[in-house]
Structure 1
Amino acid sequence: MSTPNDTAPVACTSHAAPGASTDVPRPPPLSTHEALARVLAAALPLCAQPEAIEQVPTLDALNRVLAADIRSALDVPPADISAMDGYAVRAADVVAGRPMRVSQRIPAGHPAAGVLEAGTAARIFTGAPLPAGADTVVMQEQARVQSDTVVFDAAPPAGDWINRRGSDIGKDAVILPAGTRLTPQALGLAASVGCAVLPVARRPRVAIFFTGDELTMPGEPLREGAIYNSSRFTLGSLLAALGCDVTDLGIVPDRFDATRDALRRAALEHDLILTSGGVSVGDEDHVRAAVQAEGTLDRWQIAMKPGKPLAFGTVRRALGGESHDADTGTARDTAFFIGLPGNPVSSFVTFVLFVRPFILRLAGAARVEPQALRMRADFTQKKADRRNEFLRARINDGGGLDLFPNQSSAVLTSTVWGDGLIDNPPGHPIQAGETVRFLPFSALLAVREAVGTAAETVDVPDGVATLGDVRTWLRSRGGAWADALADTRALRMACDHVMTGPSTQLTDGCEVAFFPPVTGG
């Protein structure tokens, strides 16, 4: 979200009884940053409650949030293993062009047949453990087989094509910290160290309902003045994608008593009550008054477009419950309430910007904000809005962004046409060719978290000819590279996306990658 204003405005808080006058001076609108900060400050993670932690089979833990660190009980790989199909040898025994007897054969999943005999080679396959005494692997493409002997065209250096013990994961290393959302990759990593069960926070329990006599369900006749309830499907699907246990209470009649009854029922067993529409000052908007009668409500005007109004509060439980207190972490007798705008695009945008981070924080996720991209605008928007705009845009074939022509908050097709939202700060016209902040839907809707990496384009000096030379040179420069490449024994490396060894020769313009091991601590 764009940079907040220097002065932090105060939200409009209302606890008036139904029908009481609310004619009070309106404070300035909140920035998107301030609104998000207030929402997140209230969301104490469920994993703070011991009773909210579950032991779930790894196969069933997709998209759940870890409640505790996961440490590896073993080194991965558990021994020095071959990175290629080829021959394991002592580098000092190899003479180019001289045959060597093949003394043993080691498939993956089988141990070596003892120590490698001096002057011999062992036929070895990818993933198989090296025999004691071998210190390098020659890939089979660089070998010529002659009966029960093998001939190498060149003498290899020591250390080639070996994945060292613990080079991927060291024993007792934290492989997945608490707060990690469990992607398919994370589940595979947990399984690779033998974890059959994982400690996770229980799923957030969310009740959702909609108000408005104009709302009609798809499949029913559309009477005059009515509209189909699209937000029920959009918001319900968004909640399900976040791993919530969702209770859909459907469409509630536009009456105060019906709305109040729905809130009471929803508060009993849920962490969050989510509604769309009904929190404005209209005579037929009863949600605001019902929430105030059953709890507390802050009605915020946020300096954003679309999605200006947002309501945040609590609803008392008549019979107690299992929710948690934002200040003490103890069991509390209220459920959180968030009221979204009624327009479908406004509802969608405020959900992904505020409700999604709130639910992720509630579930215990460590990272809750989406990762933005810097991209080129291939359009001009001369008119600058005083609010923080979230513009629906699409990535074009040239790698830039095109703008959807109709940015109305009622045009739901813009969210299907687009690939994400441009986060445009207040008062900023956009010129074609400038760089803008882009929030792709793949980040706003997905559960994957960002992983830190370092990248740099460099011209290497004369004499730096191999991957090993690059490693040595980068370490000599000091700083972050020196720290990252300190453990040369366990370092893995690649050239142009192919895993390889330190003796690999560089080519002009090649892409080099280093993969330090996961370490304990």
Structure 2
Amino acid sequence: MLDDAYVSSLNTPSELTPVDEHRAKVAALLRRTPVETRPLADCLGLALATDLVAPISLPSFDNSAMDGYAVRSVDLTEASAEQPVELPVAEDIPAGRVDVPPLQPGTAHRIMTGAQLPPGADAVLPVERTDGGTDKVRMFAGVQPGKHLRRAGEDVAHGTTVLTAGTRLGAAQLGVAAAVGAAELPVHRAPRVLVLSTGSELVAPGEPLQPGQIYESNGLMLSAAVREAGGEPTLLRFVPDDVEAFHAVLAEHVASADLLLTSGGVSAGAYEVVKDALQGNGVEFSKVAMQPGMPQGCGRYRDAFAVVTLPGNPVSSMVSFEVFVRPAMLAAAGHADTTRTVKQAALAEPLTAPAGKQQFRRGIYDPDSGSVSLQGAPGSHLLGSLAKANCLLTIREDITELATGSIVDVMLLD
């Protein structure tokens, strides 16, 4: 049985590590991942390692923004529906034609969207304002100089920075990289994360449960969170509450992992295998001034990979990942933006919070009204309410109660 004075001390603010202090420890553990040059198709979700400077302009030449006719605008000054101007069609210019002849006065070139503007033309008249002729074309309207054109360099000028280092490479970013001719990019490798859930009571989903057993959910949940954050997870199933078995599993992965992420086995009770195995091997454990998620640990396992130990209750584990692990992973992977979007919202109901602890409550943020409502009770085992939440309310450690309408910070989860 635990000593009453020890149990009491766990809730004493002076004995607890501030959230920001523990966050800084975790961030310092994860080293920047190596830079690799990869084909564009393999760069999705990764962070650009160096600025991408445009070797060409976009567009690289003046081109048509419409299907129509390249003209000299002065030739159409008298054109109208009642008195159309008729011009001979001297050339056809489809997109991709490279031998584009100059446009002579008093003529038109039929031109397609994206095709190179012929020298001498200063505008394009859309085909809808003509009779669509191929030998001769009747034009029912005039056009202003520069109309329906895309000028060279109006999107991206040669020599300008298209993407800055630290940019997350999504579909649009990869598209512009391809558009300026980049076939490959230097990127930071995704962090390789071992995700390990301990507990002899754990059973794989789909298997029959015996009395006292529970389905293992943290491993799958944290692996998904790692992948969402741009990491490459390896889920280790299942390590029983046995220290030697724990070390044997880690020995198989020492050379390949950047981070070991565990859940469970770090509290003050007996049979805490994570703490028993890692204490004295470079990992320190502490109580962090937060709810949920007070028992935490971090360090470097035998000078090999970084270790972050999370509590076993599922909500505590997931909240701890959001607060400590996700930003550290993104920073290690070279991302410039490592934080979730934070909004201020009005409480739709009152709440209470424990003194001396930063509280993270599940909530539903309504962007239309700018309000947030609580989703479920604060219990760290209530995973169903976390699955329905779209934000976490952050309540400072010096606040113990808030009235309806109070303004709070909410961290958006989607």
**TM-score band, normalised by the shorter chain?**
0.7 to 0.9
> Between the two proteins, what is the percent identity of the paired residues?
36
TM-score, normalised to structure 2, is: 0.85
Shift of residue 259, structure 1, vs aligned partner: 3.0
Shift in alpha-carbon separation, 1:91–1:63, aligned structure 2, 3 A: same
Amino acid at match of 2:392: L
Shift of residue 375, structure 1, vs aligned partner: 4.4
Shift of residue 186, structure 1, vs aligned partner: 1.9
Q: Kindly indicate whether the alpha-carbon contact (under 8 Å) linking 2:29 and 2:299 is maintained by their aligned counterparts in 1.
A: no
Q: Which residue of 1 aligns with 2:138?
A: 150
Which of 315, 327, 337 matches 1:357?
Answer: 327
Q: Kindly indicate whether the alpha-carbon contact (under 8 Å) linking 2:130 and 2:137 is maintained by their aligned counterparts in 1.
A: no
Written as runs of structure 1 = structure 2, the 5 A alignment for 1:429-440 is: 429-433=401-405, 435-440=407-412
Secondary structure in structure 1 of the residue aligned to 2:319: helix
Q: Which residue of 1 aligns with 2:5?
A: none
Secondary structure in structure 2 of the residue aligned to 1:310: strand
User: Runs of 4+ in structure 1 displaced over 6 angstroms?
Assistant: 23-26
Q: Kindly indicate whether the alpha-carbon contact (under 8 Å) linking 1:95 and 1:152 is maintained by their aligned counterparts in 2.
A: no
Q: Which residue of 1 aligns with 2:361?
A: 391
Shift of residue 197, structure 1, vs aligned partner: 2.3
Secondary structure in structure 2 of the residue aligned to 1:294: coil
Secondary structure in structure 2 of the residue aligned to 1:62: coil
Shift in alpha-carbon separation, 1:136–1:63, aligned structure 2, 3 A: same
Q: Whole-Å Cα distance in 2 between the matches of residues 132 and 39 of structure 1?
A: 61
Q: Which residue of 2 aligns with 1:87?
A: 69
Query: Are 1:115 and 2:102 an aligned pair?
Result: yes
Query: Are 1:405 and 2:414 an aligned pair?
Result: no
Query: Are 1:314 and 2:319 an aligned pair?
Result: no
Shift of residue 339, structure 1, vs aligned partner: 0.3
Q: Which residue of 2 aligns with 1:369?
A: 339
1:295-336: CA deviations, max 9, x gaps?
232x343333222232111111xxxxxxxxxxxxxxxx4211
1:445-482: CA deviations, max 9, x gaps?
xxxxxxxxxxxxxxxxxxxxxxxxxxxxxxxxxxxxxx
Unaligned residue ranges in structure 2 (runs of 5+): 1-8
Q: Which residue of 2 aligns with 1:130?
A: 117
Shift of residue 212, structure 1, vs aligned partner: 1.8
Amino acid at match of 1:380: E
Shift in alpha-carbon separation, 1:112–1:124, aligned structure 2, 3 A: farther
Which of 365, 380, 383 matches 2:349?
Answer: 380
Unaligned residue ranges in structure 1 (runs of 5+): 1-22, 47-51, 317-332, 443-521
Shift in alpha-carbon separation, 1:107–1:275, aligned structure 2, 3 A: same
Q: Which residue of 2 aligns with 1:217?
A: 204
| Range with bigger deviation, 85-94 or 184-193 | 85-94
Q: Which residue of 1 aligns with 2:6?
A: none
Amino acid at match of 2:333: A
Shift of residue 412, structure 1, vs aligned partner: 0.9
Amino acid at match of 2:300: T
Q: Whole-Å Cα distance in 1 between the matches of residues 18 and 125 of structure 2?
A: 61
Secondary structure in structure 1 of the residue aligned to 2:280: helix
Q: Which residue of 2 aligns with 1:171?
A: 158
Q: Which residue of 2 aligns with 1:347?
A: 317
Shift in alpha-carbon separation, 1:431–1:140, aligned structure 2, 3 A: farther
Secondary structure in structure 2 of the residue aligned to 1:413: helix
Amino acid at match of 2:188: A
Shift of residue 226, structure 1, vs aligned partner: 1.7
Shift in alpha-carbon separation, 1:235–1:384, aligned structure 2, 3 A: closer
Q: Whole-Å Cα distance in 1 between the matches of residues 49 and 233 of structure 2?
A: 21
Q: Whole-Å Cα distance in 2 between the matches of residues 76 and 397 of structure 1?
A: 37
Q: Kindly indicate whether the alpha-carbon contact (under 8 Å) linking 2:69 and 2:110 is maintained by their aligned counterparts in 1.
A: yes
Q: Kindly indicate whether the alpha-carbon contact (under 8 Å) linking 2:340 and 2:413 is maintained by their aligned counterparts in 1.
A: no
Q: Whole-Å Cα distance in 1 between the matches of residues 342 and 367 of structure 2?
A: 20
Q: Kindly indicate whether the alpha-carbon contact (under 8 Å) linking 1:96 and 1:151 is maintained by their aligned counterparts in 2.
A: no
Shift of residue 389, structure 1, vs aligned partner: 2.8
Q: Whole-Å Cα distance in 2 between the matches of residues 375 and 81 of structure 1?
A: 48
Q: Whole-Å Cα distance in 2 between the matches of residues 113 and 306 of structure 1?
A: 68
Q: Which residue of 1 aligns with 2:219?
A: 232
Which of 51, 54, 59 matches 2:41?
Answer: 59
Amino acid at match of 1:419: N
Q: Whole-Å Cα distance in 2 between the matches of residues 84 and 112 of structure 1?
A: 20
Q: Whole-Å Cα distance in 2 between the matches of residues 264 and 113 of structure 1?
A: 66
Shift in alpha-carbon separation, 1:94–1:281, aligned structure 2, 3 A: same
Secondary structure in structure 1 of the residue aligned to 2:102: coil
Q: Whole-Å Cα distance in 1 between the matches of residues 400 and 159 of structure 2?
A: 50
User: RMSD over aligned Cα, in angstroms?
Assistant: 2.8
Secondary structure in structure 2 of the residue aligned to 1:267: coil
Q: Whole-Å Cα distance in 2 between the matches of residues 264 and 309 of structure 1?
A: 25
